[in-house]
Structure formats: structure tokens, C-alpha cells
Amino acid sequence: MEQISLSILGSSSAIPLSNRSPSAQFLSIADEHFLIDCGEGTQVKLRQHRIGFSRIKHILISHLHGDHFYGLIPLLTSLQLLERQQAVHLYGPQELEEVLRTFLKMTQAKIQYPLKFHPLNKNSKTLIYESEQLEVHSFPLRHSVDCFGFYFQEKARPRKMNKELLEKLDIPVAEIRGIKNGKDWLDKRGKRYPNEELTLDPPAAFSYAYCSDTLPVKHLHRYFKGVDLLYHEATFLNKDRERALATTHSTAEQAAEIAEICDARYLLLGHFSARYRNLDPIIEEARTIFKRSYEAREGYRFYLNRDRESLQMEKESKY
């Protein structure tokens, strides 16, 4: 996949507004898809973004505050109504399993497709999913309850063949496999062509980090230094930082400082308090510290191409 793409299904903190819903995002990276948080109304948002439910295989829940998971049970039961067969992997705080079990028991709702629960480790950065092309880690944040961030990182890709040189040297097809595996090549006269010349650097791997909800955590750079795209909550403006501290959230300024420390390429801000109807001051505040800051605007899909020259966005929701 030549892009990393992120659909913003919800960007509000605790209370929904007419144009802002609680947290939920849909990430596509390395041809795999992840639903990150699942606030109330996520199903409707998925429909509005035309994201088919069959693409949902991994659901990651950051913590057990309602604005991050009240949409989960309706979604899981809808999948049953749609006669889902394929497994769904659910990653979240340990207690989520009991919440689900109790709810399903009390309402006599049945889930017949395989639902695999993966409890998160609250002590350290932990690998929670791995495929041929991708690794996903969780890591602890600092909030009023156990809360987790997620880091998605493509694995390094194999080097590409330098086709121009290979053709020029007229290298036999039988030799190509060896070069792909890192071998040098000797021509008839015994001249050696090192593998670094015969192959080209692979495209740089994409990465994405999701941090909501949290106080600013200064050591996050240890987890994802140089991340391409960082989503960090910015519930408050700096003038309300006392409130941010009291409720274990961050301000736009603090989010920008984290992006700076982590050497992020782009910063997306979200989880906005309902007290701010106009979000421009939040983005402006962040941009005074970290220029490449953007609002995680609902109804939009953000994407980065391999050249990473700009963070692009397009309206995706039909409402």
C-alpha cells in the first residue's frame, strides 16, 4: 500500500456535539485495517464514511471511559446480525472482558463468531500484533484510569532491484534471486558489483502513534521517535491547563511539545472539549510550537504518500 490513511470518525471528548462525536478512528496501514476506539455512534460513522463492516478485524480500545467504548457492544452485536464468520480481535484493558461478558449475559445477546480478547499490559510497551509487514505495540499513558496508546509500524521492506543497472550489465535471470537475497555479482571478467549498487533503498516504512487520553508523557519519544503521524489529544487550551491537569488531559501546547520531542513529522490534534465550539485557537496554539499541526477533523480521511511531502485530507463522510 502506497499510503497510510486515517479516517476520523469522532474527535470529541466526553460529551458529543451536533458536529462532533466521541473518539473513533479507522486506520489503514500495510494493507491492514484497525478500528481505534469506538465511542457512541461509531457504527453510523462507519456507514457515513462508507467503511464496510467486513473490514473490521482488529478493534483497539484505549481505556474504559464511555467516550472511547460505548459504541463497541452495538457494533459487535451488529456483526452477529450480519452473520459474521471471521474472527474479531479485541485489544483493551483487562476489565473490558468482564464488561462484555456481563452485558452479553444480561441481555442474552449471542455472539457466535470468534471474538478473541487480548488484555493490554499496563506496565510497559508491549507487542500486541505482528504480521509479515507490520508490528503494533501498546504502551501505558497517564490518565485517571488505566489508559493505553498504540503504535503501528510497518516493517522494513526488502531492497528494490536497480533495474536500469541490471539491464545494462545484462545479468542472467537465474542470478536475480541471489541478488534479491543480498548477494554481490561477478561479471565474466571477474569484476565485482556490490549488492548496494545492484539494489536501491526500499521506501521508508510508515508509522502512526495514537495517544488519547493522557497528561503529557515526556518519555513517549522512547516508544516512537521519528513517527510519521502522531495523534495526540488536545482536550484543552493552555489557558485552561489547570483544568487539564485536574482531569488528566493535555493542552494543545503540551501536545505540540510532545510532537516536537518525538520528532514527529505531522501532528493531528483531537479529543476536543465541548467548551470550544471554534477549534482554530487550539490549532494555532499548537502551531506556535509545532508547525505541522492539524485538526483531526471529523468526516475526513487523512493520508500520507510515501514521499511524505504533505499531509493530505479529503472529505469522506456523506453527511
Q: What is the dihedral of CA 152, 154, 156, 157, to 10 degrees?
A: 180
The nearer residue to Zn ion, 162 or 214, going by C-beta atoms, is 214
Q: Which of 67, 187, 240, 307 is catalytic?
A: 67
Q: Give me 182's grid cell.
A: 543480498
Q: Point out which span in 30-38, 62-70, 104-112, 121-129 binds Zn ion (CB under 5 A).
A: 62-70
Site residues for Zn ion, 234-293, by CB under 5 A, read: none
| Dist CA 64 CA 292 (whole Å) | 31
Task: Please report how close the Cβ of residue 23 comes to Zn ion at its closest, in angstroms.
Answer: 6
Binding mask 63-82 for Zn ion (x = CB under 5 A): --x-x---------------
The nearer residue to Zn ion, 153 or 212, going by C-beta atoms, is 212
| Dist CA 99 CA 64 (whole Å) | 10
Number of residues that bind Zn ion (CB under 5 A): 4
CB-CB neighbours of 127 under 10 Å: 11
Task: Please report how close the Cβ of residue 15 comes to Zn ion at its closest, in angstroms.
Answer: 10
Q: Point out which span in 12-20, 86-94, 153-161, 298-306 binds Zn ion (CB under 5 A).
A: 12-20
Q: In this structure, which amino acid lies at residue 229?
A: L
Do the bridges between strand 266-270 and strand 293-295 make them parallel or antiparallel, or are there none, so unpaired? parallel
| Dist CA 90 CA 9 (whole Å) | 18
Task: Please report how close the Cβ of residue 222 comes to Zn ion at its closest, in angstroms.
Answer: 23
Task: Please report how close the Cβ of residue 301 comes to Zn ion at its closest, in angstroms.
Answer: 22
Binding mask 152-191 for Zn ion (x = CB under 5 A): ----------------------------------------
The nearer residue to Zn ion, 40 or 228, going by C-beta atoms, is 40
Q: Point out which span in 9-17, 124-132, 196-204, 290-298 binds Zn ion (CB under 5 A).
A: 9-17
Q: Point out which span in 186-194, 205-213, 220-228, 291-299 binds Zn ion (CB under 5 A).
A: 205-213
The nearer residue to Zn ion, 97 or 146, going by C-beta atoms, is 146
The nearer residue to Zn ion, 101 or 142, going by C-beta atoms, is 142
Closest residue to bound Zn ion by CB: 65
Task: Please report how close the Cβ of residue 99 comes to Zn ion at its closest, in angstroms.
Answer: 15
Task: Please report how close the Cβ of residue 194 comes to Zn ion at its closest, in angstroms.
Answer: 53
Does 295 participate in binding Zn ion (rule CB under 5 A)?
A: no
Tell me if 231 sits within 8 A of 212, measured CB to CB: yes
- 67 catalytic per annotation: yes
Site residues for Zn ion, 206-245, by CB under 5 A, read: 213
Please give the positions annotated as active site.
67
- Which residues of the chain form contacts with Zn ion (CB under 5 A)? 13, 65, 67, 213
